[in-house]
Structure 1
Amino acid sequence: MTTLPSGIAPWTEFLSAKEVPVLRQTAHAIAQARERADRINIREIADIVLHDPLMTVRLLRFSARNRGRRQLQDISTVEHAVMMLGVEPFFHHFSQFDIAEERLAQHPKALLGLLHVIRRAQRAARYASDWAMWRCDLNSEEVAVAALLHDLAEMLLWCFAPQRAMEIAELRKAHPAMRSADAQESVLRFSLNGLQESLCRTWELPELLLNLMDDAHSERPRVKNVKLAVDLARHSSQGWDDPALPDDFRAIARLMNIDEETLKLRLGLKSAGEVAASQAPPSPPG
């Protein structure tokens, strides 16, 4: 049995020595795309990568490690990373994968935990991208990637320390009012936010993405965009009756400068007819 490290620095070293797995679906999609490498475009490859936060961080980490001396600007989007690498080199460097479902085959509950976090991240990225485009953000993909990777450390914990991840999940289930950070501190003696920052800096991920994932700066509109997308995905992950959702709706509506009814229409929670009826002036007395 592997002895797990203690403290953020040893955990950073431990995780940095691991090959980040990808979803089976991602490996299959990349293999299929390779068969038409002479006809595929960069956007299609980026779409495959962006569906999987684990593959996304693999590509960004690879890009950071192999950045040319003359490249002064960080690569903060997947499309830019694929473009700088090139189609053929992409398929050359990303041809063999450790598969997440196979890694956790002996830990079915941990696999469910990982897939739950990934699905949540995918939804957060979609929300973040939609709202960024609505706000005319000059690079909505940066915001989407930050939302997709916001809970990266939690995903890696499920992959490489499933028992620890299960302990945190069970502690939160037993104490629903407990904050996630407190549960993490209780089991790991540190928060996953601290581990994530350490990993991002060690892996030399773009400073911009690190800043966008930093909830401490949520007064900044782009950071708030990311945080609210992550919050909404988290609070709605078990349905739309979480008591935190009304506060989320109010904050998102303010960010987008729309009313809450229009927001719910964009989220698919209300039909256009329902929104129109709620906004119509009252009928005069007969």
Structure 2
Amino acid sequence: MTLPENWSEYLLEHPLPVRRAIHQGMCRELLSESPDFPRLVGWLRRDPAAASFVLGAAASGQRQRERSAPHNLEHALSLLGSNWARNQLPTLPILENTIDDEDQRAGYLAASSRAMRAARLTEAWLIERRETNYEMVSVAALLHNLVELALWRDAPELARQALAIARKSLIDFTRNDAEDASLDRCFSVGHAFATVLGEAGIDLLELETALTERYYLPVMLLAEEATIPTLGAHHEAILVLARRLAFASEFGWHHAVIRRLTIAIAEQLHLSPTAAWRVTVKKSLVDAREFADIPLYHPGRLLVQHDDGRDLLWPLPADYGLDADENGCHASGNPKRSTTPGRQLGDTIRQLTRFDQVEEIALYENVDASVSQRRFHWSRSGQAALPEAIGLDQSPLLSRLQSRLETLGIDEQNRERLAPHLDTALKAATRAGLVIAPLSVNGTLISTLFVRGPQGEQQRDIISSLDRA
């Protein structure tokens, strides 16, 4: 897939696609005779493509009147008016209808997720500083990688290539000099995209300058510092840190770059590194639960996998479509720090697949008090016996295990006694043997691991390995 001719003009004339759930939510709000703009803004803030469309339209109108740009999304909507919103927002392309290829769509969603994480972190940190004027900085973070989103739409092979370059620079930095070198020498997603686009004959700096002029906001992948004078120096610093952490945390939370970023964040927040870390982790876990209901990857879940503090850079989600041979698990070379042991879920799942009796592995997350939804699935045969959702009301045994954070194996020895306390689908899965293992962070349930197939001695070996993990 090659880039459209005159790509810069193409981007200005062809809005980026929005997720169907966001499109439907906006359209529902617009059915009212007097749309509730704050509720509409709530939908816009969950999708960088939708937000950029509104801000771009408002900024264009203000420029024609020689007036200042909108300073947030609600201001932009008030400038455009409810009639404009009713006529224009429903015309936005829908992602699921625009991008058919699953890997390509997943890459777009992952980039969208990274923009949202940067925006949420920026907001959380500025609120911690007791600042009320955080909306403009948060929106700037939300729009910072519009070019990456456009590349996933128009030329996904170039987006994958740039992502692989950025990841390699992060790995090299972490292996060689992460403890004493400047973070300015670290990975740069922007420079990776500039390199790839440069080979395609496109100057990223010129392209993003044109976009910046349109949106009146820093939407730069390439420029590490914001170039818009309305942002103060500390706002610029926090925006850059949020962008870097949003990318670096996709590979885990306990490697040298995260530690260096946490120290820099602490300086901006006037907190100790430990306190700054707590603020970031708390916000990331909250967002991970919110993202669970939408098809976006959130690295907050890696806090479960990396609770032991090992210096590892983990693979990106398989959905990115990168070459598995160049996307493995890389140790940074730093010694293992003494921390409280936790579950290394990535290692564990790989090890579980090597047991010959294991037929299926799934991770479930409680979306509310009555339903646990499947978030990860692996099957040796490609078939799924474990259900997509589990009714907690019909599975009192599961609820009890989750509340006590206890691991349990079910096989022919106890099946008759325990299976009646699970819902119909899980009851059927116990015929082949089933291991149920709740996973937690700091005593809080995050997800539940199910392993179908093993019985007898192999089941006991698996339970023992999970208890040691």
Q: TM-score, normalised by structure 2?
A: 0.51
Matched, 1:222 2:235: yes
Q: 1:184 corresponds to which residue? A: 193
SS at match of 2:62: coil
1:167–1:213: structure 2 CA closer, same or farther, 3 Å change rule? closer
Work out whether residues 146 and 212 of structure 1, in 8 Å CA contact, stay in contact via their aligned partners in 2.
no
Which of the residues 148, 173, 177 maps onto 1:154? 148
Per mean C-alpha deviation after superposition, the further-off stretch among 70-79 and 21-30 is: 70-79
1:207-218 mapped onto 2 (5 Å cutoff): 208-209=217-218, 214-216=223-225
Cα distance, 1:120 vs. partner?
A: 1.1
Q: Give 1:160 shift.
A: 1.6
**Pair 1:257-2:270 in alignment:** yes
Compute the RMSD of aligned alpha carbons. Answer: 3.0
Change (3 A) 1:213 1:64: farther
Shift of 1:101: 2.3
Distance 2:3 2:40 in 1: 38
Q: Percent identity?
A: 25
1:200 positional shift: 2.2
1:198 and 2:193 equivalent? no
1:233 and 2:246 aligned: yes
Amino acid at match of 2:215: L
**Where do 1:4-15 residues align within 5 Å?**
4-5=4-5, 10-15=6-11
Query: Could you tell me which residue of structure 2 aligns to residue 64 of structure 1?
Result: 59
Distance 1:28 1:153 in 2: 25
Q: Which runs of 5+ in 2 are unaligned?
A: 173-186, 284-469
> What is the CA–CA distance in structure 2 between the aligned matches of 1:240 and 1:194, rounded to whole Å?
34
Distance change >3 Å, CA 243–CA 143, structure 1 → 2: same
Among candidates 7, 26, 29, match of residue 30 of structure 1: 26
Higher mean alpha-carbon deviation, 209-218 vs 117-126, is at 209-218
Taking the aligned partners of 1:225 and 1:157, their CA distance within structure 2 comes to 26
- Residue 266 in structure 1 maps to residue 288 in structure 2: no
Aligned residues, how many? 262
Per-residue deviation, 1:186: 4.2
CA contact (8 A) 1:77 1:142 kept: yes
Measured after TM superposition, the shift of residue 65 of structure 1 is 2.3
| Superposition pairs of residues 166-181 of structure 1, within 5 angstroms | 166-172=160-166, 176-177=171-172, 179-181=188-190
After superposition, the Cα gap between the structure-2 partners of 1:161 and 1:140, relative to the gap in structure 1 and judged at 3 Å, is same
How far the C-alpha of 1:22 sits from its partner, in A, is: 1.2
- Local SS of the residue matching 1:45: helix
Rg (Cα) greater in structure: 2
Identify the residue that residue 243 of structure 1 maps to in structure 2.
256
Change (3 A) 1:255 1:96: same
**What one-letter code is carried by the residue in structure 2 that aligns with 1:58?**
F
Q: Does the alignment pair 1:77 with 2:72?
A: yes
TM-score, length of structure 1 as denominator length = 0.80
Distance (Å, rounded) in 2 between the aligned partners of 1:169 and 1:268: 25
State the shift of 1:57 in Å: 0.5
CA–CA separation in structure 1 for the residues paired with 2:262 and 2:269: 11
- Contact preservation (8 Å) 1:76, 1:209: no
Matched, 1:49 2:62: no
Q: Which has the higher strand share?
A: 2
Q: Which amino acid aligns with 1:54?
A: A
Task: Look up the match of 1:142.
Answer: 136
**Structure 1 equivalent of residue 316 of structure 2:** none
Contact 1:168 1:187 in 2 (8 A): yes
Taking the aligned partners of 1:213 and 1:169, their CA distance within structure 2 comes to: 14
In the alignment, structure 1 segments of 5+ residues that lack a partner are: 271-286
Higher RCO (C-alpha under 8 Å, 6+ residues apart)? 1
- For residues 91-102 of structure 1, the aligned pairs below 5 Å read 91-102=86-97
Structure 1 residue 61: Cα displacement: 1.0
Q: 1:128 aligns with which of 107, 122, 128?
A: 122
Matched, 1:21 2:17: yes
